Structure 1
Amino acid sequence: MPERVCLFQGQRYYQLKRACLRRGVLFQDPHFPASSQSLFYRRCPPPGLTWKRPREFCKDPRLFVDGISSRDLHQGSLGNCWMVAATSCLATEPSLWKKVIPDHTEQEWNPKRLDLYAGIFHFRFWRLGCWTDVVIDDRLPVGQDGALLFCRSGSPREFWSALLEKAYAKLNGCYEALEGGNTAEALVDFTGGVSEPISLDREVLTHHSDRRRALFQTLARAHTRQALITCYIRPAEGEMVESVLDCGLVRGHAYGITAVRKMRLGEQFLGVCGTSRVHMVRMRNPWGTADWTGAWSQGSHQWQQVGRSEREKMGLTVRDVGEFWMEFEDFCCYFTDVMVCRLAEKALLWPTSHWKEVRCPGEWAPGPGRPPGSIPLLKGPSKHEDQRGLSREGERGPKGDRKEDQLGKRQRDGTTWGQRNKAGGGKGGEKITRKERQESNFRDGLRGIMWDGQVDKNSRCGGCINHRDTFLYNPQFMFEVQGQGDEVLICLQQEDRRIRRREGGGDNLPIGFEVLRVEVNRMTRVHCVGEQAASSVYMDSRSVALRVTLGPGRYTLLPTTFQPGSTGRFLLRLFSHSHVHLRELKEDLPSPSIWQCCVPQPCMVTTVHLRRASGLGQPKQTAPDVYAVIRCENDTIRTHVFKQDSNPEFNTKAIFYRRQPDTHISIELWCHGWLWDTMLGGARLQTGDVERGRTRPGTKWQISDNLFIPVTMDSRRYLLQNMQNPPQVSTPVLAFSKLLMCALPIAQIAIGAVFLRDCPQQHYIPIYLLVLGTFALLLGVLSCLPCAREPEDGGNSTLSTICNVWNSMVSFFLFCWFIAGNVWIYSIYPANYNQTQPNMPYFFVAFGRLNSTLQDSHCVPLLA
């Protein structure tokens, strides 16, 4: 199925091209004119600047010359090396650049059909879940020396790189807006993938071969799945960007990884390599200014011992100028940061080892009646507000390389590769970051920060978890992990703000997200902060990603800004090996039942946390396959089966919206068998004692002589009352509604009695009215009696229970009688009935508003 394409500024490429060809003119883009406003928003244009079309440079211009290659790109006077590096990666994959440059053969210059050239091109970039089609003309800025001012190709006849840069500049507002950025942003815009940064701990990777081996396997799997991988050396304090190391590598330059190989060498190479197994990576330098001079570099003694045929047999070949091989151990010694851009898989029959993607758009928005930006933010020291909790991007240098350097600096606040493998567990190594963030804010008491406004419960911009009072007012998304657990990659991407730099804005919001483990049957928004399963760092970058292993269960994900009140759009993406359903939670309470007129409404919320069981196995016997069942009223929750486990760790939470608070909750343990299941035991939890504080949370409930289950229960009657917050009806309105409930049945009874024997078509219609009116009047009278009111202490008296049961039975009978009567009435009238007999008032009273607008009848002429 083709992906959705959005039109940038409403321009349609083919429609504009046909209009230009029909008029015989070259296209001039009114939204991106050939003027200084398309170039800069702060600087002044250089002297002698002009705009020229490709055919003014040469007689035979081309979009491509001898195909497309990473050698075609040369950075101009603009500090957008991050974009040029990403474009060089794009040029190596035809399946990717053909999406960015659609219909490249149709857009190519045809010297034999000059009448088909209209000076118009279009390119596509991925933004917030859809491909955006950007239309440009072919006028390019030229310097005083007659050469292109910005990006250019090696061949003077080739213009695809310059035109691509112009389209990207138009998307972001102007050329100057491209200064300062990181390769991850451009890779996402060019591919629609998700960029996962990996910060390398060189000391750990150098001295621990298992950590180095795990990183190598991660990069090998990513390369096998066609991910784009870049890396660079982050300059340390006092070191210069673009400075060359003794080994030939350049600090701050983005290198591409084009191959990851594990070589098994023969015995004849033991003298050359010192080992029979070598982990190798093939690198590409898009700039071509310096190359690797260490082991396995061009002309090294390792290559001199290996012939060309043996290289090809082992796969140690280079495809392009600027490529070179190096051992992975040397790679870990020099490079500090790796960026993996994973591509979404659209096929239906991918192997289970591949990533599947689900995505949901969302928005941090103020409550109803508040315009965006009307919610005041926290005021206080802005530069040093919370350096441990918030990771900031660096200042943008004149060439844009400084921001590329800050990409690695941000990761030092998060998790490096060595730290993540040390941390283990389901937190993805983020425990340290979250703990530091919480201790920093709560220990200091947020000194110097004042709350100057209020984010109400209807807002969706509550800030990070430091702001406990408003944190849960953020958008909430739910997903479920099946089986024994799964590794997931979560990416939060905010809308790009570069286009706002002309107005003085353009800075990214500090964003992050929290993952909460919730009840297995929860279907509504979370109102109490529970167990935190994972947490990302907060960065003012366009996207934040986190890879984490989660156990089976249901989770709620809250994407947030760092401060409350910040607004903007975002896209939430989740990658996993299994199919995961991601959806936004919008309701605070479960949807009311269709039988809400017949059954009482929930009045209490109870949460049950079943932690574990112990003592299930018998001596000298195989442990049973056990599972647990939690029952409350009509709801049943069942855990998955724990295979041969005498001490299963259930760790299962369930939430129940209860209509009868005094009823018990039962927990049952079952042994799973081949033909039938056997019950091991059960317990009843009396929640009345828990609500009155007589039972402490975490109590061990005894099921049998040697079996105990730690259970935590939390019942909240006030929660539903606060969430529902029913309005108090005034006495006159209540009295009028009661009178109306009695007046309509009386009218039905009167009309049925008056026309009991006067209906020539069907004499059962008046009888139907009499029964309907009698029972409806009885229901209205009973609702006015004191027995129908609930006691003030919240309990249920015997008389009120009888009234509720009787009201439910009468309501159910009236509902069925109404449906049956309607079906019967409509079935007895022919299509050619006499429309001259005026009896609309009769059916208005008989069957209510629904029937009054749907049919007429010819039964009894009223008031004749």
Structure 2
Amino acid sequence: MLVSLEMASLLSKTSQERPSLACKYTVSMETSAWSPVLGAPWLWPQRCLGSTESASLAWKEEICATPRLFADNPQEGQVKQGLLGDCWFLCACAALQKSRHLLDQVFPPGQPSWHDHTYRGSFTCRVWQFGRWVEVTIDDRLPCLAGRLCFSRCQREDVFWLPLLEKVYAKVYGSYEHLWAGQVADALVDLTGGLAERWSLRDLARASSQQDRPGGSEHRTCRRLLSLKDRCLISCSVLSPRAGARELGEFHAFIVSDLRELQGRAGQSILLLCIQNPWGRRCWQGPWREGGEGWSRVDPADESELLSQLQEGEFWVEEEEFLQEFDEVTVGFPITEAGHLQSLYSGKALCHTQELPGAWVKGQSAGGCRNNSGFPSNPKFWLRVSEPSEVFAAVLQRPRVCAAGQAGRARAPVGDRLASRSPASFLGEDYQAVGLHIWKVEKRRVSLPRVLSTPPVAGTVCHAYDREVHLRCELTPGYYLAVPSTFLKDVPAQFLLRVFSSGRVSLSAGPERATSRPPVCLSRAVPSSRRLGALPLGRPCPRASGRPCSCGAPGEPARQQGAVGTLPPTRATPASPCRSLRAQAPAASVSPCVNTARTPSATLSASTSSRFQGPGGARLRPACCSRSLC
């Protein structure tokens, strides 16, 4: 039995009207200029005896005869990226493999699977959304091309926890297309309910040079990563290629799967980092590749051990090479089995958690930053600290929610129902530049104008266009006033204020609006964070003024680059059947994917390098020029 689904290319523009696949077997979507409409049948998996359906039925062209949810060997469940630009999400999924209790939080144990007679063709997962865990149920149909999964998959293709979780995430965010480009930190928060930090290696390098200590801050960061490697996920990303070295592409996220400190033959300390590319191909041609000259500096036994543990898509780089090639590191806070976060800095358990929702209302409580006279009208919160504590305070923005039922709107969990979200929210375009400042007060009845005119005891360095910003501070016992704000005045938004502390704290609504203006302080907003994502080779970027992007599909050979700014010609994708694990109306619709670039395509350099190559020595194109990781 086949259920045929006519759909456009999985990576084209969004349809203005997307009928529910649960109600109709045939859905028409817009096609793009570069890809034909694909016939996409969705099929069922092998049925086992005792199923509610007849066991004598023969299902053809199944993905596999013996599907498994999880692998016995962690390497078999290693994440691999497909045609979708969601490397940022896949890197966060790798965090679940490090801790079984995190995986059980997302995949509740005890669910019937394919080999159970009670299996009904669906799975339930949990995703953390705006302060609470939301249960999401999907069927087990998955999109395939040419007989293989076209989006994410595990190292062993009979293991399906990853593509199923990707479908859950696609349902939460509206469709697969809305997973195209994003931040690793955002996905980590959604999958763990914790916190994640992004460290800019470029900023650390500039800070070190200004302090006449070249390399100091960056090297301390690598040593900190060494101490954190077994407790949390570490991801790194490339935002722009170095001059003459485009091997790692642009806007692509990687996983730091291991760190090793070796003793060199000359007695020096050598720190090596094992990098996993979600593309799943070994393309690195640096000195620490297999047979590279870097291994001559260490003992042959160490070389044999480290090279033997490499999986597909992994390669070793030295500390100096890592700092030179990568722009940013994302680290998820460790989470204990009791559900408590641990500090990245002190290792203390942040056992005490408080959170309260709030909103900036235009004309009432959207006072803007400290440059504006309306700053005192921003929402305020009392924070009471009962003992000396290490405190992390975070402001999480909520995407705009639109009226339900509007055509072309994606859907996401709000309350107990699925409410429509603005499409811009998936692209990060409706997130405001936000900041957070904390003042210490002697008592709860204070003169707000006087308090807000003094320097805060803690605050974000600047307002950032991120979904969540947070700060760390050491606080003594007493009362504190926390004021989250947007950089611009009169911009409405909702937020969730979260506080994680090593000591006892309480959080409550603060005083009413103060009317006096605080002194002008030079607040500034940083540009929107680059979101990570890549398009397949030569595909057009529909949101970047109609210009095609030069992007690196995994392992595909690159065409010869022209002069600076030359863009490659497009190529069509061959039509290929789409299959699934079970023929049932999909809970998360497969829709054409839209690139999330908000700026015109970046110009391309004509310089090339041979250190990062595809099969047969063919150079790979850089990743997409969008602002997101793919």
TM bin (shorter chain): 0.5 to 0.7
Secondary structure at the aligned position of 1:546 is classed as strand
Deviations 1:637-696 (A, max 9, x none): xxxxxxxxxxxxxxxxxxxxxxxxxxxxxxxxxxxxxxxxxxxxxxxxxxxxxxxxxxxx
Secondary structure at the aligned position of 2:170 is classed as helix
> Compared with structure 1, are the counterparts of its residues 583 and 558 closer, same or farther at alpha carbon in structure 2 (3 Å cutoff)?
same
Deviations 1:75-100 (A, max 9, x none): 33333232223224433443322322
TM-score, length basis structure 1: 0.46
Distance of 2:66 and 2:437 partners within structure 1: 57
Instruction: Kindly indicate whether the alpha-carbon contact (under 8 Å) linking 1:509 and 1:561 is maintained by their aligned counterparts in 2.
Output: no
Residue type at the aligned position of 1:33 = A
Instruction: Kindly indicate whether the alpha-carbon contact (under 8 Å) linking 1:363 and 1:567 is maintained by their aligned counterparts in 2.
Output: no
> Compared with structure 1, are the counterparts of its residues 466 and 347 closer, same or farther at alpha carbon in structure 2 (3 Å cutoff)?
same
Q: CA deviation at 1:230?
A: 0.6
- 5+ residue gaps in structure 2? 1-18, 47-58, 401-409, 413-419, 514-630
Pair 1:543-2:468 in alignment: yes
Q: CA deviation at 1:149?
A: 4.2
The counterpart of 2:313, out of the listed 322, 334, 345, is 322
The counterpart of 2:326, out of the listed 310, 315, 335, is 335
Pair 1:571-2:506 in alignment: no
1:259 matched to which residue of 2? 258
Distance of 1:140 and 1:337 partners within structure 2: 33
Q: CA deviation at 1:198?
A: 0.9
1:48 matched to which residue of 2? 39
Q: CA deviation at 1:33?
A: 2.7
Secondary structure at the aligned position of 1:162 is classed as helix
Residue type at the aligned position of 1:535 = G
The counterpart of 1:141, out of the listed 140, 143, 162, is 143
Secondary structure at the aligned position of 1:98 is classed as helix
1:278 matched to which residue of 2? 270
Pair 1:215-2:140 in alignment: no
1:690 matched to which residue of 2? none
Equivalences for residues 166-245 of structure 1 within 5 A: 166-201=167-202, 202=205, 208-223=214-229, 226-235=231-240, 245=245
Pair 1:33-2:35 in alignment: no
2:373 matched to which residue of 1? 468
Equivalences for residues 370-519 of structure 1 within 5 A: 375=362, 454-455=363-364, 460-480=365-385, 483=388, 488-496=391-399, 499=411, 504-506=423-425, 507-519=429-441
Q: CA deviation at 1:169?
A: 1.0
Pair 1:358-2:358 in alignment: no
Q: CA deviation at 1:544?
A: 1.4
Kindly indicate whether structure 1 or structure 2 has the higher relative contact order, using CA contacts under 8 Å at least 6 residues apart: 2
Distance of 1:354 and 1:36 partners within structure 2: 53
2:151 matched to which residue of 1? 150
Q: CA deviation at 1:318?
A: 3.3
More helix by share: 1
Instruction: Kindly indicate whether the alpha-carbon contact (under 8 Å) linking 1:364 and 1:475 is maintained by their aligned counterparts in 2.
Output: no
Residue type at the aligned position of 2:111 = E
Deviations 1:475-517 (A, max 9, x none): 324243855xx65433221224574786554243314233232
> Compared with structure 1, are the counterparts of its residues 556 and 36 closer, same or farther at alpha carbon in structure 2 (3 Å cutoff)?
farther
Q: CA deviation at 1:189?
A: 1.1
Residue type at the aligned position of 1:172 = Y
Deviations 1:30-70 (A, max 9, x none): 98737699998997994312333333514333323544547
Distance of 1:41 and 1:540 partners within structure 2: 32
TM-score, length basis structure 2: 0.61
Q: CA deviation at 1:362?
A: 1.1
Instruction: Kindly indicate whether the alpha-carbon contact (under 8 Å) linking 1:141 and 1:148 is maintained by their aligned counterparts in 2.
Output: yes
- 5+ residue gaps in structure 1? 1-29, 367-374, 376-453, 590-864
Alpha-carbon RMSD: 4.0
2:119 matched to which residue of 1? 117
Percent identity (aligned) = 28
1:611 matched to which residue of 2? none
Instruction: Kindly indicate whether the alpha-carbon contact (under 8 Å) linking 2:86 and 2:180 is maintained by their aligned counterparts in 1.
Output: yes
The size of the alignment, in residue pairs, is: 447
Deviations 1:594-648 (A, max 9, x none): xxxxxxxxxxxxxxxxxxxxxxxxxxxxxxxxxxxxxxxxxxxxxxxxxxxxxxx
2:161 matched to which residue of 1? 160
Distance of 2:80 and 2:464 partners within structure 1: 31
> Compared with structure 1, are the counterparts of its residues 48 and 335 closer, same or farther at alpha carbon in structure 2 (3 Å cutoff)?
same
Distance of 1:488 and 1:97 partners within structure 2: 27
Distance of 1:557 and 1:319 partners within structure 2: 47
Instruction: Kindly indicate whether the alpha-carbon contact (under 8 Å) linking 2:386 and 2:505 is maintained by their aligned counterparts in 1.
Output: no
Larger of the two Rg values belongs to structure: 1
Distance of 1:251 and 1:327 partners within structure 2: 20
Q: CA deviation at 1:194?
A: 0.8
Distance of 1:223 and 1:508 partners within structure 2: 34
Distance of 1:91 and 1:289 partners within structure 2: 20
Distance of 1:164 and 1:525 partners within structure 2: 51
Distance of 1:164 and 1:478 partners within structure 2: 37
Instruction: Kindly indicate whether the alpha-carbon contact (under 8 Å) linking 1:461 and 1:475 is maintained by their aligned counterparts in 2.
Output: no
Q: CA deviation at 1:337?
A: 0.7
> Compared with structure 1, are the counterparts of its residues 223 and 547 closer, same or farther at alpha carbon in structure 2 (3 Å cutoff)?
farther
Q: CA deviation at 1:338?
A: 0.8
Instruction: Kindly indicate whether the alpha-carbon contact (under 8 Å) linking 2:290 and 2:307 is maintained by their aligned counterparts in 1.
Output: no
Q: CA deviation at 1:364?
A: 0.2
Secondary structure at the aligned position of 1:255 is classed as strand
Residue type at the aligned position of 1:231 = C
Distance of 2:348 and 2:29 partners within structure 1: 43
Distance of 1:78 and 1:258 partners within structure 2: 22
Residue type at the aligned position of 2:356 = P
Pair 1:106-2:111 in alignment: yes
Instruction: Kindly indicate whether the alpha-carbon contact (under 8 Å) linking 2:340 and 2:349 is maintained by their aligned counterparts in 1.
Output: no
Pair 1:585-2:509 in alignment: yes
Pair 1:62-2:54 in alignment: no
Residue type at the aligned position of 2:251 = G
Q: CA deviation at 1:181?
A: 1.3
Deviations 1:703-755 (A, max 9, x none): xxxxxxxxxxxxxxxxxxxxxxxxxxxxxxxxxxxxxxxxxxxxxxxxxxxxx
Residue type at the aligned position of 1:363 = G
Instruction: Kindly indicate whether the alpha-carbon contact (under 8 Å) linking 1:491 and 1:573 is maintained by their aligned counterparts in 2.
Output: yes
Deviations 1:213-234 (A, max 9, x none): 432343234335x121111121
Q: CA deviation at 1:558?
A: 1.1
Distance of 2:341 and 2:168 partners within structure 1: 35
Distance of 2:208 and 2:233 partners within structure 1: 22
Instruction: Kindly indicate whether the alpha-carbon contact (under 8 Å) linking 1:525 and 1:587 is maintained by their aligned counterparts in 2.
Output: no
Q: CA deviation at 1:120?
A: 1.1
Q: CA deviation at 1:363?
A: 1.8
Deviations 1:741-778 (A, max 9, x none): xxxxxxxxxxxxxxxxxxxxxxxxxxxxxxxxxxxxxx
Q: CA deviation at 1:518?
A: 3.0
> Compared with structure 1, are the counterparts of its residues 162 and 350 closer, same or farther at alpha carbon in structure 2 (3 Å cutoff)?
closer
Instruction: Kindly indicate whether the alpha-carbon contact (under 8 Å) linking 1:34 and 1:51 is maintained by their aligned counterparts in 2.
Output: no
